[in-house]
Amino acid sequence: DKYNDFIEANRIEDASERMRTLRKLIRDLPGHYYETLKFLVGHLKTIADHSEKNKMEPRNLALVFGPTLVRTSEDNMTDM
């Protein structure tokens, strides 16, 4: 139910305002969602930290995981 809030926050032009808004949205997540997100981001960071070996730098991770993690309600490839 917070999907649109996150999408709108990411569209904020001012970087510091965008980060403030995203941080607030993340802090407001239910505890189990927050912990799941924290674990997932930590895992993806570990993968990115080893990108010289596995070729999975943040951009590649975004290409692979983005469509799965940030799926629209319409769920079509054009929107993704």
3-state secondary structure the chain: CCHHHHHHHHCCCCHHHHHHHHHHHHHCCCHHHHHHHHHHHHHHHHHHHCHHHHCCCHHHHHHHHHHHHCCCCCCCCCCC
Tens digits of per-residue pLDDT, 18-50?
999 999 999 999 999 999 999 999 999 999 999
pLDDT for 72 equals 66
The CATH number of the domain covering residues in 1-67 = 1.10.555.10
pLDDT band at 58 (very low <50, low <70, confident <90, very high): very high
Indicate the domain borders of the chain.
Answer: 1-67
The pTM of the full predicted model, rounded to 2 decimals, is: 0.75
71 or 15, higher pLDDT: 15
